[in-house]
Amino acid sequence: MSEPRIIFIGAGNMARAIIAGLRRRGIAGGDIAVHAPHLERREALAREFGVISRAAEAVPVAADATVVYAAKPKQIGTILPSWRAALEAGPGIFLSLAAGVTSASLKRLLGPKVPVLRCMPNTPAQIGAGMTTLYADASVTAEQRAAAEAILAAVGRCLWLEDEGLMDAATALAGSGPAYVLLFLEALEDAGVFQGLPRATARILAQETVLGAARLAKEAQMAPSNLRHQVTSPAGTTAAALAVWEEGLRALAQRAVQAAVDRGRALAQMTEEHNQ
């Protein structure tokens, strides 16, 4: 039996989402291995998707393998050193989902010869509608970039960043963004209930409105401001509501994203100190 080509370190929700996407794309279960200390979690993935379940310890990897780090960032300093020899032995790549752990930190743990890439998916990856940002330095080849993107494209759209310093901002916007949208959905639903709508009705109206507006914004290929003006009649009901939203929504969005960026950088610093 040949060695698996895609190896996951970690068996959490994001690992499961990506594995599900890969299996939907036709990747054989035998081509995927999951290494994790939690027997129940990795065995559950093995039963559900037919992947190979292995203990957390490092093993030799195939020459064309991609190792995907999907465990907690704070554990990376403990886990990665044991994988260094296996990764240095072949031309495989290392793909990290660990928020805040820089390429330089990864190379210190794995050695300068190992091609490392960073990525940040978001939770809609669970239904194949994720948005993943990726970064790779100049030492990573086009073929290696393509191999990493092929894995993450199984759960949604991918977007490459050329500046690693923007990963914190991308994480704050897209990585945390689904929670912002869900909070907005909650607020719209509650507002509808306040106006007398049954909660089930208000929820459907809010969900379908946000979904439809997002699809319109994507497919119309126009700036959101232009689309908004198209549906806003002067002195109409939409204009009255937008006047209220404009009192503080933009500033609030900027503060929220800034708070996420600041917290991400602080956590990254804590992780860096923990892993030294």
Q: Tell me the whole-structure pTM to 2 decimals.
A: 0.91
- Below-50 pLDDT ranges, the chain: none
Predicted local confidence at residue 196, as pLDDT: 98
| CATH superfamily, region 177-245 | ProC C-terminal domain-like (1.10.3730.10)
β-strand pairing of 93-96 with 66-69: parallel
pLDDT for residue 92: 83
Strand partners, 153: none
At 74 the pLDDT is: 87
d(CA 74, CA 268): 9
Q: Where are the CATH 1.10.3730.10 domain residues in the chain?
A: 177-245
pLDDT at 90: 74
Tell me what pLDDT residue 1 has: 55
Binding site membership: which residues?
Answer: 9-14, 70-73
Residue ranges of the annotated binding site for NADP(+) are 9-14, 70-73
Local structure of 116: helix, strand or coil: strand
Q: Could you tell me if 28 and 22 are in contact, meaning their C-beta atoms sit under 8 angstroms apart? A: no
Contacts with 127 (C-beta within 8 Å, 6 or more apart), sequence order? none
Q: Which amino acid is at 1?
A: M
pLDDT digits (tens, 9 = 90+) for 60-69: 888 889 999 9
The model's pLDDT over 241-264, given as tens digits with 9 standing for 90+, comes to: 999 999 999 999 999 999 999 998
Residue intervals in the chain for CATH 3.40.50.720: 6-167
CATH topology of domain 6-167: Rossmann fold (3.40.50)
DSSP secondary structure letters along 163-207? -GGGHHHHIIIIISHHHHHHHHHHHHHHHHHHTT--HHHHHHHHH
